[in-house]
């Protein structure tokens, strides 16, 4: 399990990946060819990887990341993290507000 | 693939409209919709002035919003949908418009609410029934094409050619506009637009949104606040914060004052401490306790210090680890990062 600022990357067993997602095409990469795990809407700062692999949405709030060769997660304000090859669940940090929960953005 | 960063910039653009470009683009939008070009162009300095200008238009003809925006947009959406298939369309939307949707909609909702509130206070509606007046203003606002704030949808299409070219060119040039058969009312963009990192309207030293005519919205992390509320922020005291009766405003005061400062000056004690951070609790009169985890960023700032931040967690949280784990939707025992930056 790895944390880069407001994003948590949780390793998962390949067997735990829903079957229909194992071979599904990933979300399109951004204009710079990156898989963007989270984006600061105003600053444009991003938790992103350029490694081979796919980013998949399993339901509206959960995204899965497949890195067949591993990769380097970078962000403008945080030190990079080297991720070993494998499957991951990507979790965005949130904050409690009375009556609602809001996403944290750094 | 459309350029999402360019559309992000369009949605957030401030400063004077490119009136010549807007004029050309509006004419193009009319031609593409199979309509005769409008003969009168009226400029307004904000959406509020725009609504006021609508009433003064002489014989503008019917609203042509359907022809200009709704129909070409629906046709283009159908075309792209057919081309990419349902899954491809969903993917396209997630990669483009979805990124801008929430922040832009928050802004347009607030602008509409601000226009309605200002109109209800204007002499025009001094003697009117508030419900009727509000319905009337909201009706006028529904006829607007949102210019730069159409960016989320436009971002999902490749608009350089085709039915949306005029609409997209107006979006790049200016703010909201009202198309009628013979006349057009166009609004300037905001001269100031300030948001926090989560994209919510936010400013501590004045309006979060300001238009050239003075029409303004004040907000604290997305929450609408009274105009004079911000002027007292520099002189806050813990006592003033405790005495604020409106729980929402009290949260804003506390956030501005700084949880750390309030904790220090109110003599609060940490409830729990472990390797993930520190858990704090501040009792609030007539409101649920504020419970926060204090977390240290592992990556040092450029000056070598470590940035500390506070995240509010549910009031029932009992340990720092449980609090941090909650922010990632995990149980305390499941939270164990082996590396963090």
Residue B299 touches partner A, C-beta closer than 8 Å? yes
**ipTM of this complex prediction, to 2 decimal places:** 0.88
What percent of chain A is predicted at pLDDT more than 70?
A: 88
CA pair distance B304, B130, nearest whole angstrom:
57
Which residues in chain B have Cβ-Cβ distances shorter than 8 Å to A98? 247, 251, 287-288
Answer whether 0.80 is exceeded by the pTM: no
> Is the pLDDT assigned to residue B166 strictly greater than 90?
yes
Mean residue pLDDT across chain B: 89
Residues B198, A4: C-beta atoms closer than 8 Å:
no
Q: Report whether B138 contacts B112 (CB < 8 A).
A: yes
Residues A57, B94: C-beta atoms closer than 8 Å:
yes
* Chain B residue with minimum CA distance to A36: B95
Q: How confident is the model at residue B51 (pLDDT cuts 50, 70, 90)?
A: very high
What percent of chain B is predicted at pLDDT more than 90?
A: 55
Higher pLDDT, A32 or B251: A32
- Please write the tens of the pLDDT for every residue from B9-37: 999 999 999 999 999 999 999 999 999 99
Token readout for B220 is 């604290």
Q: Report whether B228 contacts B207 (CB < 8 A).
A: no
Residues A41, B299: C-beta atoms closer than 8 Å:
no
- Please write the tens of the pLDDT for every residue from B179-226: 999 999 999 999 999 998 778 899 888 899 999 999 999 998 888 888
- Please write the tens of the pLDDT for every residue from A54-103: 999 877 667 999 999 999 999 988 889 999 999 999 998 888 877 655 56
Q: How confident is the model at residue B130 (pLDDT cuts 50, 70, 90)?
A: confident
What percent of chain B is predicted at pLDDT more than 70?
A: 95
Residues B341, A104: C-beta atoms closer than 8 Å:
no
Measure Cα distances from A9 to A14, A76, B14, B283 in Å: 15, 17, 37, 34
> Is the pLDDT assigned to residue B258 strictly greater than 90?
no
Cβ neighbours around B304 below 10 Å, total: 6
* Chain B residue with minimum CA distance to A46: B197
């Amino acid at each position: 399990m790895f944390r880069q600022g407001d994003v948590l990357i949780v390793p998962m067993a390949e067997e735990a990946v829903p079957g229909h997602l194992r071979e599904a095409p990933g979300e399109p990469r951004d204009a710079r060819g990156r898989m963007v795990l989270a984006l600061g809407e105003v600053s444009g700062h991003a938790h992103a990887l350029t490694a081979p692999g796919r980013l998949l949405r399993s339901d509206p709030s959960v995204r899965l990341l497949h890195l067949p060769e591993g990769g380097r997660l970078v962000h403008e304000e945080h030190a990079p993290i080297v991720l070993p090859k494998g499957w991951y669940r990507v979790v965005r940090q949130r904050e409690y507000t009375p009556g609602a929960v809001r996403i944290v953005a750094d | 693939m459309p350029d999402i960063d360019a559309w992000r910039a369009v949605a957030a653009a401030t400063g004077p409209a490119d009136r010549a470009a807007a004029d050309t683009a509006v004419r193009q939008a009319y031609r593409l919709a199979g309509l005769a070009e409008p003969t009168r162009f009226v400029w307004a300095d904000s959406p509020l002035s725009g609504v006021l200008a609508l009433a003064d238009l002489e014989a503008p003809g019917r609203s042509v919003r359907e022809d200009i925006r709704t129909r070409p947009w629906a046709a283009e959406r159908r075309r792209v949908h057919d081309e990419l298939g349902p899954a491809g369309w969903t993917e396209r939307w997630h990669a483009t418009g979805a990124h801008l949707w929430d922040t832009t909609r928050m802004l347009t909702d607030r602008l509409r609410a601000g226009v309605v509130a200002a109109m209800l206070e204007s002499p025009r509606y001094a003697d009117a029934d508030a419900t009727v007046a509000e319905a009337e203003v909201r009706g006028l606002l529904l006829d607007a094409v949102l210019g730069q704030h159409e960016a989320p949808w436009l971002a999902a299409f490749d608009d350089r050619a085709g039915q949306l070219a005029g609409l997209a060119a107006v979006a790049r040039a200016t703010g909201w506009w009202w198309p009628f058969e013979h006349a057009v009312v166009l609004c300037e963009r905001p001269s100031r637009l300030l948001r926090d990192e989560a994209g919510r309207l936010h400013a501590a030293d004045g309006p979060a949104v300001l238009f050239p005519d003075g029409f303004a919205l004040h907000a604290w992390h997305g929450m609408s606040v009274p105009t004079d509320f911000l002027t007292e922020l520099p002189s806050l005291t813990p006592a003033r914060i405790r005495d604020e009766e409106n729980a929402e405003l009290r949260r804003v005061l506390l956030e501005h004052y700084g949880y750390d400062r309030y904790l220090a000056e109110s003599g609060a004690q940490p409830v729990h401490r472990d390797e993930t951070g520190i858990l704090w609790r501040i009792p609030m009169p007539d409101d649920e306790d504020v419970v926060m985890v204090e977390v240290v960023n592992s990556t040092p700032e450029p000056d070598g210090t470590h940035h500390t931040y506070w995240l509010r967690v549910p009031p029932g949280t009992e340990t720092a680890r449980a609090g941090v784990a909650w922010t990632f939707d995990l149980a305390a025992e499941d939270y164990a990062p082996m590396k963090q930056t």
